[in-house]
């Protein structure tokens, strides 16, 4: 067996382990009874340690060196070597006991977060979160020393390979200067139009589920390789060829669950569209979370808050809920789904205020990882940041610093990818509409094939072959650039 074949076989086994972890984690977040939490934490910790040991195997270095000299390898195999080396370098920086401790701390913190969120009790979560943060700092420091990066950039690198906070700082400072004034303009323009009336519920959960599944099918989701469930925080997870999404329902407002379904379906389409020949190899994985979030936000914000989508979806909504009247017409629904509000909740935010939610979290997690802000000051710092960036302040921790699961689940360095993804989404949707003239007419008919086909070719099917800027440049003609995003906001909210 050649050195490359040995590598491919080894990482195929790592992928199988990852699939098992993914399904166990999905079950933990959706169906597992509370009483099973301790034993599940032990199982996940053991599997993650085994996975880490496999990814840090000393033989990988020799296989990589031999494979580098193999002249028979093609473009995809060469890219796979690059990705394997990246994974191996990061994993060899971490001791197994740190991986185990982190897994157990995350499992405990996630369970504590669910109760703390329900009780709006940050102090109840704080000791669990402090342990997760401590271990994340250790991991960031260890990886950073190996990679020549700051601890925060080393954590960010796990979610966006090659991503650096210096570039994000510049982009986010620009947006932070732009957004408050633009939000005022958008609110003023909105005030000159008739305000949408509240849609009168209740909207039964089963009806909402049927509507969500109908839209998922129209978007191109393959139900033979996934399912829709309920969780405290919506997510996309599971395993290769078993891509599961979740949402949460509110009988007073069906739009929250629907847009959550659409967002997570965007993630799932990316996962279901990855290159089949390399599905179990690092090069066959998604490039990173900037592109992953671009796919969810492209569907949720760009495509499915468009006039074209609402002209297709309005009759479905009326039929699903037995509703009628002018408030259920496409134009009224479009005004509702493009309404700008200074809300507290990130996942319910409109696309004008959404980046401000992300900038706040990015700045806070950078300070916490750098240990320049005590964890106990998080609620006050959160509220002050909300006031500065969004002009509002949450009345309690449940609507403030406890709303997201990312920090309890160990996702430090993830948050900036949301807004970087929104920027990429605007670029990709603009490019798709120019390249495929039937994109918007198709959406109006409930036919997403032109859009999804373009994304399959230019994003999903590329796996990790290219870095984010290379992929965006090939697909859209430019690297990550906030200009198209700002222009899109101006057209939609000031036009």
Please, where are the H alpha helices in 94-121?
A: 96-119
The dihedral region occupied by 363, where left means phi > 0, alpha psi between -120 and 50, and beta the remainder, is alpha
- Answer positive or negative: Cα dihedral of 109, 296, 241, 15: negative
Q: Cα–chain-centroid distance for residue 422? A: 10
**How far is it, in rounded angstroms, from Cα 369 to Cα 115?**
24
Query: DSSP label at 299?
Result: I
Q: Which two tokens stand for residue 429?
A: 């949707």
Taking the CA atoms of the chain, what radius of gyration do you get in angstroms?
Answer: 22
For 194, other C-beta atoms within 10 Å of its C-beta total: 9
Q: First vs last Cα of the chain: how many Å apart?
A: 62
CB 333 within 8 A of CB 314: yes
Of 295, 298, 239, 225, which is closest to residue 267 (Cα–Cα)? 295
**E-assigned strand segments in 91-235:** 228-230
Of 372, 377, 405, which is closest to residue 123 (Cα–Cα)? 377
Residue 235: which residues within 8 A CB-CB, separation 6 or more?
A: 29, 245, 246, 264
**Residue 372 burial by Cβ neighbours in a 10 Å radius (0-12, 13-18, 19+):** exposed
Rounded alpha-carbon distances, angstroms, from residue 273 to 1, 270, 316, 490: 30, 5, 27, 32
The dihedral region occupied by 49, where left means phi > 0, alpha psi between -120 and 50, and beta the remainder, is alpha
37-55 and 96-119 helices, crossing angle to 10°: 140
Among the listed residues 264, 293, 308, 351, the single catalytic one is: 264
The DSSP code sequence of 260-291 is HHHHHHHHHHHHHTS-GGGTTSGGGS-S-HHH
Element (H, E) at 476: helix 468-476
**How far is it, in rounded angstroms, from Cα 400 to Cα 459?**
34
Of 306, 309, 298, 277, which is closest to residue 426 (Cα–Cα)? 298
- Asked if 118 is an active-site residue, the reply is no
Q: Cα–chain-centroid distance for residue 153? A: 18
Residues annotated as part of the active site: 264
């Amino acid at each position: 067996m050649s050195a490359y074949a040995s590598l491919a076989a080894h990482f195929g086994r790592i992928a199988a382990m990852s699939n098992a972890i993914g399904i166990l984690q999905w079950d933990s977040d959706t169906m597992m009874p509370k009483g099973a939490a301790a034993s599940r934490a032990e199982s996940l910790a053991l599997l993650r340690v085994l996975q880490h040991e496999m990814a840090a195997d000393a033989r990988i270095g020799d296989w990589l060196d031999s494979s580098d000299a193999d002249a028979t390898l093609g473009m995809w195999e060469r890219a796979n070597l690059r990705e394997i080396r990246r994974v191996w370098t990061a994993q060899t920086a971490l001791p197994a006991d740190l991986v185990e401790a982190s897994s157990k701390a995350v499992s405990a913190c996630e369970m504590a977060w669910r109760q703390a969120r329900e009780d709006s009790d940050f102090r109840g979560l704080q000791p669990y979160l402090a342990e997760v943060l401590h271990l994340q700092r250790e991991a960031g420091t260890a990886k950073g020393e190996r990679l020549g990066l700051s601890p925060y950039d080393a954590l960010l690198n796990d979610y966006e390979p090659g991503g650096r906070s210096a570039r994000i700082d510049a982009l986010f400072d620009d947006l932070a200067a732009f957004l408050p004034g633009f939000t005022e303009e958008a609110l003023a323009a909105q005030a000159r139009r008739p305000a949408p009336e509240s849609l009168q519920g209740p909207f039964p959960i089963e009806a909402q589920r049927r509507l969500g599944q109908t839209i998922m099918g129209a978007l191109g989701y393959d139900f033979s390789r996934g399912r829709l469930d309920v969780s405290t925080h919506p997510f996309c997870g599971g395993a290769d060829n078993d891509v599961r999404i979740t949402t949460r329902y509110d009988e007073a407002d069906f739009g929250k669950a629907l847009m959550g379904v659409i967002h997570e379906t965007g993630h799932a389409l990316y996962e279901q569209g990855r290159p089949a020949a390399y599905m179990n190899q690092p090069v066959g994985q998604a490039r990173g979370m900037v592109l992953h979030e671009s796919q969810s936000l492209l569907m949720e914000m760009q495509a499915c808050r468009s006039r074209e989508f609402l002209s297709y979806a309005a009759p479905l909504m009326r039929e699903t809920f037995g509703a009628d009247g002018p408030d259920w017409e496409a134009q009224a629904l479009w005004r509702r789904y493009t309404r700008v509000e200074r809300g507290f909740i990130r996942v319910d935010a409109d696309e004008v205020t959404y980046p401000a939610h992300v900038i706040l979290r990015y700045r806070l997690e950078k300070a916490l990882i750098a240990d320049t802000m005590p964890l106990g000051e998080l609620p006050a710092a959160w509220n002050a940041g909300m006031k500065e960036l969004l002009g509002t302040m949450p009345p309690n921790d449940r609507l403030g610093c406890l709303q997201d699961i990312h920090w309890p689940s160990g996702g430090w360095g993830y948050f900036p990818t949301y807004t970087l993804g929104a920027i990429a989404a605007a670029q990709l949707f603009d490019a798709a509409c120019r390249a495929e003239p039937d994109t918007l007419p198709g959406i109006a008919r409930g036919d997403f094939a032109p859009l999804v086909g373009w994304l399959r070719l230019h994003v999903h099917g590329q796996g990790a072959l290219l870095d984010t800027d290379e992929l965006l440049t090939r697909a859209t003609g430019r690297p990550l650039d906030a200009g198209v995003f700002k222009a899109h906001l101006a057209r939609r909210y000031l036009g």
